[in-house]
Amino acid sequence: MKFSCEKALLLSAVATASRTVAVKSSIPALEGILIEAGSALRLTGYNLETGIRTTVPAEISQSGSLVLSARLFGEIVRKLPDDTVYFSAKNYMVNIKCGLSEFNILGTDPEEFPELPSVDQQNMVSIAQNVLRSMISQTLFAVSDNESRPIHTGSLFEVEREQLTIVSVDGYRLALRHEPTQGRQGEDFFSFVVPGAALSEVEKICSGEDSISVVQGARHVLFQTGATILVCRRLEGEFLNYKNAIPRNNTIKITGDTKALLSSIERVSLIISDKLKSPLRCVFQDGVLLITTKTGIGDAADQCPIQGDGQDLEIGFNNKYLMDALKAAPAERLRLEFTSGVAPCLILPAEGEENFVYMVLPVRLKAN
């Protein structure tokens, strides 16, 4: 194997492929990057759950393939001078030259590297990378980490007409984002569930306004940008029927400033810790929200101006769930909807299109 390639391009490709390399594995090949020089130069990282393959512009003078430690390869390329990198290998003994620097390190047999699953396209949707990136970051926090309901450790992707919806739920809260697609192929309606761990990698390969294709296969999902693909398995099982779970006839509606609400809640939360848990006691009055709590550390109280009459509704919340939703909400002003102190709270944009819905279940408050 023999190729040459610009340091900056190689570095970016190694960084991308390294995202899905296992940090520590009983199969040493999984701690490496598969380097394949054929008609193009391809780098692959695959931890058996999620795989990334990316193509690098390179001059290939002799084809071949081998596996090289991702950590070592990444560190070497990062420190090389900004110049052309000459890479050659014979019997897995790799020689890397760049400027006045030279390394000789041992690679391993590519046969030990597991094959990336091939994905037979059933349906496909495409969307701008920066839009998908924000949809993921604004829903991923609500994915469950409870392995007893594996289906909810991923996010639901649902394509209906020209719209993509992403939904995460964990039994205590729900996060939903809608956005128009840039194109689609396949059935009128299709849906699949993508593991949360894979989505946090998809988020990182997305940037700019170019589109990314999301391909639904029988057992896998493939995300494809210009030079890079990410493959992961689909989660199997029945996802929550979220449409039924979201209450739609709420009688109490108030609006407020996202940052002001978050600041008030964060302050009161300072006396809540993992050891000293206590719900936030929220009282929605006419024009003002009172937030209080009490733990072994002491008590805290805060007020936040709101618009509308909360009808003195008293409701308890897990502070973390409320903060997660307020941090993720892509709107400067929010509408909060309630029916009672024991029914879920909806968080929606105060104005304009309803492109997100967060739902947080209340927690029972002790008598004052």
Which residue of 112, 120, 210, 299 would you call a contact of a copy of itself, by CB under 8 A?
Answer: 299
* 274 vs 353, beta carbon nearer a copy of itself: 274
Rounded to the nearest whole angstrom, what is the least distance from the CB of residue 322 to a copy of itself in the complex? 15
Give the C-alpha separation, 300 to 314, whole Å.
Answer: 17
Residue 87-116 contact track with a copy of itself, rule CB under 8 A, x = bound:
-------------xxxxxxx----------
Nearer to a copy of itself (CB atom), residue 23 or residue 270: 270
**Residue number with CB closer to a copy of itself (151 or 271):** 271
Q: Which residues 63-92 are close enough to bind a copy of itself by CB under 8 A? A: 72, 75-76, 79-81
Q: Which of residues 337-356 bind a copy of itself (CB under 8 A)?
A: none
The C-alpha torsion from 145 through 149 and 152 to 158, rounded to 10°, is 170
CA distances to 65, 195, 297, 313 from 36, in Å: 4, 28, 59, 63
Q: How far is the C-alpha of 319 from the C-alpha of 338, rounded, in Å?
A: 17
* Least distance (Å) between residue 219 CB and a copy of itself: 38
Give the binding range for a copy of itself (CB under 8 A) out of 35-43, 279-287, 300-308, 331-339. 300-308
CB of 272 to a copy of itself, least distance (A): 11
| CB of 316 vs a copy of itself, minimal distance in Å | 19
Of residues 189-218, those binding a copy of itself (CB under 8 A): none
Is 309 a residue that touches a copy of itself (CB under 8 A)? no
CB of 303 to a copy of itself, least distance (A): 4
Q: Which of 8, 27, 301, 342 binds a copy of itself (CB under 8 A)?
A: 301
Given 263, 343, 350, 365, the residue binding a copy of itself (CB under 8 A)? 263
Q: Which is nearer to a copy of itself, 160 or 302 (CB)?
A: 302
For 206, the token pair is 């997305």
Q: Does 264 participate in binding a copy of itself (rule CB under 8 A)?
A: yes
Please say whether the beta carbons of 234 and 45 come within 8 A. Answer: no
The answer to whether 193 and 154 have CB atoms below 8 angstroms apart is yes
Burial string for 81-102 (b: 16+ CB within 10 Å, else e) reads: eeebbbbbbeebebebbbeeee
Residue with Cβ nearer a copy of itself (288 or 343):
288
To a copy of itself, the closest distance from the beta carbon of 85 in angstroms equals: 12
- Termini Cα distance of the chain: 74
CB of 188 to a copy of itself, least distance (A): 49
The one-letter amino acid code at 240 reads L
Taking the complex as a whole, the smallest distance from the CB of residue 257 to a copy of itself amounts, in Å, to 13
DSSP 60-97: EEE-EEEEEEHHHHHHHHHHS-SSEEEEEEETTEEEEE
| Cβ closest to a copy of itself, residue 75 vs residue 187 | 75
At 15, which helix (H) or strand (E)? helix 7-18
Gap between the Cα atoms of 197 and 106, Å rounded: 31
Cβ closest to a copy of itself, residue 99 vs residue 183: 99
What is the phi-psi region of residue 40: left when phi exceeds 0, alpha when psi lies from -120 to 50, beta otherwise?
Answer: beta
Asked if 297 and 276 touch (Cβ cutoff 8 Å), the reply is: yes
Query: Is 304 an interacting residue with respect to a copy of itself (CB under 8 A)?
Result: yes
Residue 248, burial from CB neighbour count under 10 angstroms (0-12, 13-18, 19+) = exposed
* Chain positions contacting a copy of itself, by CB under 8 A: 72, 75-76, 79-81, 100-106, 263-264, 266-267, 270-271, 297-304
